Amino acid sequence: MNNKVVTMLCRAFAARDLATLRFNFRGVSASEGEHSRGEQESNDVLAALHDAERIVPVEGARVIAGYSFGAAMAMAALESEPIAHDHLLLVAPPLAWRDIARPILAAPRGPQVVVGDADSFCSIDQARGLVEHYAESGASLRVINENDHFFHGKLAELSEAVYEMIDGC
């Protein structure tokens, strides 16, 4: 929740007047429960999305975003329940760690994916495969050059890419 990429995403959404919600998965930091290494955490995403719907009325675009493990769990959540959303932003989905779900999406546009060219958890070819799965719905891929999974020294470039994607919402 306090990761530099996650906080940058929240700042970018807030700068575009989009309400944001971020949370820790079960068993992380002060969160209750026990982390299940991806077996149950998609339920945390669903619970957070349902709480957000209840707390904040949706006006404008609804964007679901996730970084790394959060991207994988967002896709798993959307596979189990087609939550209404307008856009899906996946930053460095960990495709080398596990094959992530490829649900039928309720969004008018396919996922927007951002990866680094030297990401050891998601190669460019793996990211292309995910985007190609959603090619008919306008999915897109943005590669940040000379960058790894953690966007060390490339946070400004990642931020610029996210702003461009948000502005396209």
pLDDT digits (tens, 9 = 90+) for 133-146: 999 998 999 999 99
- On average, the pLDDT of the chain sits at 89
- Domain boundaries in the chain? 4-167
pLDDT digits (tens, 9 = 90+) for 8-17: 999 999 898 8
Nearest to 44 by CA among 69, 19, 20, 61: 69
Please indicate whether residue 43 or residue 53 has the higher confidence score (pLDDT).
Answer: 43
pLDDT digits (tens, 9 = 90+) for 55-66: 877 676 788 999
Integer angstrom CA distances of residue 94 from 13, 73, 124, 132: 22, 10, 11, 17
pTM of the model: 0.92
Integer angstrom CA distances of residue 25 from 2, 70, 88, 118: 12, 9, 19, 27
d(CA 161, CA 127): 16
- Top mean-pLDDT range of 12-21, 61-70, 121-130: 121-130
d(CA 166, CA 121): 24
Instruction: Look at residue 57 in the predicted model and tell me its pLDDT.
Output: 72
Nearest to 92 by CA among 164, 139, 142, 26: 142
- Confidence band (pLDDT; 50, 70, 90) for 111? very high
Architecture of domain 4-167: 3-Layer(aba) Sandwich (3.40)
Instruction: Look at residue 36 in the predicted model and tell me its pLDDT.
Output: 65
Instruction: Look at residue 33 in the predicted model and tell me its pLDDT.
Output: 81
